[in-house]
Structures are given as structure tokens and as C-alpha cells.
Structure 1
Amino acid sequence: MNSFVATTSSAASGGIMILLYAALFFGLWFIVFRPQKKEQKRLATMISNLETGDSVLTTSGFYGVVIDITDDTVIVEFGNNKNCRIPMQKSAITQVEKPEVQ
């Protein structure tokens, strides 16, 4: 009889441990991946609202002004030299600042 009680209690504790590991896994998933998803959604919204004339910061650290927008690319003008226009992917933009309306 004692061996039966020991077997059922160890099986029950094994089931509890599986539930604890599952809860720990989902807790870590929520802590680690949820902020990343929110940041991806914020970047997607920012890029979809991109307009000509917006000041942008690229992933390489350059500041510029959006001159033209196509499906996947934007043409960004860098510096005071009006001849420095570079096409780049929309995903290379990390920040957008709308021009001030006066």
C-alpha cells in the first residue's frame, strides 16, 4: 500500500512540475516577445504614415528629408546639398518627424 501512495504522489508532483514549466514558458514568452511585437507594430504604423517632406532618421544614423515615396522605397535627400538624393528601403527608417505647420 505504501508503494502505491508513493507512486501516485510522484506522478502528481510530475504533473504539477509540467504545469509549472508550461506557465514559466508562457510567462517568459509574454515578457520577451510581446514588447518586440509592439515595437514592430509601431514601426509599421510609422512607415505607413510616411509622407513627402517628413524628416527621417535612418538605421545608419543619417538625417534626411523624404523627397519621393514608392511601394518599397523612398528617396531621401541628405544635407544642404540638393544633389545628394539616395533611394533606400522603407525598412531602413527608424524615426519620422513631421514638419512643423506654421
Structure 2
Amino acid sequence: MANTGANAAGSLGMFFPLILMGFFLYFFVMKPQKKRQKEVMDMRSSLKAGDTVILYSGLIGLIIEIKGDTMVLECAPDNTHLTFKNWSVREVVINDTDEDDEIEDDDEDIEIDEEK
């Protein structure tokens, strides 16, 4: 009868590393992947006309129109219109034109005295 108790404790000790690996996989692999996937889905669902995007192919374009799961991009320099699926968007480019305008305004305020 004493052997059955020792065998039960031994088999629980064998499964402990497997349980530990399961927790590791969930918290360090599956959960962060789901979080990244949710962020990408939110980004793609918030696309709108006028956004500048970078595709996985490296193409940069301005969204002209969105129809369901496709979008029409305008690409420089000849303003070619191309149609792509929404899943091809890697990131949305944030334009910092307001900050650039402030910097240019500050440069104009500086006057140099050349009458010396």
C-alpha cells in the first residue's frame, strides 16, 4: 500500500514540468501574440481615406478610397491608382506637419544684424 502513494507523488512530479511549460507557452507566447494580432486588426479597421500607409511590399501610398476589404492607393510620383487588400498594410505613417510648421516659423523669427 505504501508503494501506491509514492507512485502517485512520482507521477505528479513527472507532469509538473509539462504543466510549467504550458504556463510558459501561454503567458510568453500565446498571450503576446493575441495582443499584437488585436492591435493590427484595430489598425486595419481604423484605416480611412487620406491616411498614408506602408505595405508589406514596401510600397508607400495615400489611401484614396476604401471598399470593404480593399483600398485604392495613390502612389507618387505619377499619381498611379493601385488596388490592394487591407491585410497588406504594415503600418500607418503619422504625418508631423504641425511640428514642421512650428520649426519653420521659429526660424523665420530669427533676424541677423548685418549692418555692423
What is aligned with 2:83?
87
- Give 1:59's match in structure 2, choosing from 53, 56, 59: 56
- 1:46 is aligned to 2:43: yes
**How far apart are the structure 2 equivalents of 1:30 and 1:70?**
37
Q: Which moved more, 1:17-26 or 1:55-64?
A: 17-26
Work out which of the two has the higher radius of gyration on C-alpha atoms and give 1 or 2: 2
Q: What SS does structure 2 have at the residue aligned with 1:34? A: helix
Question: What percentage of aligned pairs have identical amino acids?
Answer: 30
Change (3 A) 1:100 1:69: farther
Unmatched runs of 5 consecutive residues or more in structure 2: 99-116
TM-score under structure 1 length normalisation? 0.82
**How far apart are the structure 1 equivalents of 2:46 and 2:95?**
13
State the AA in 2 paired with 1:67.
Answer: I
**How far apart are the structure 2 equivalents of 1:75 and 1:69?**
6
**How far apart are the structure 2 equivalents of 1:95 and 1:69?**
16
> What is the root-mean-square deviation of aligned Cα atoms in Å?
1.8
TM-score under structure 2 length normalisation? 0.74
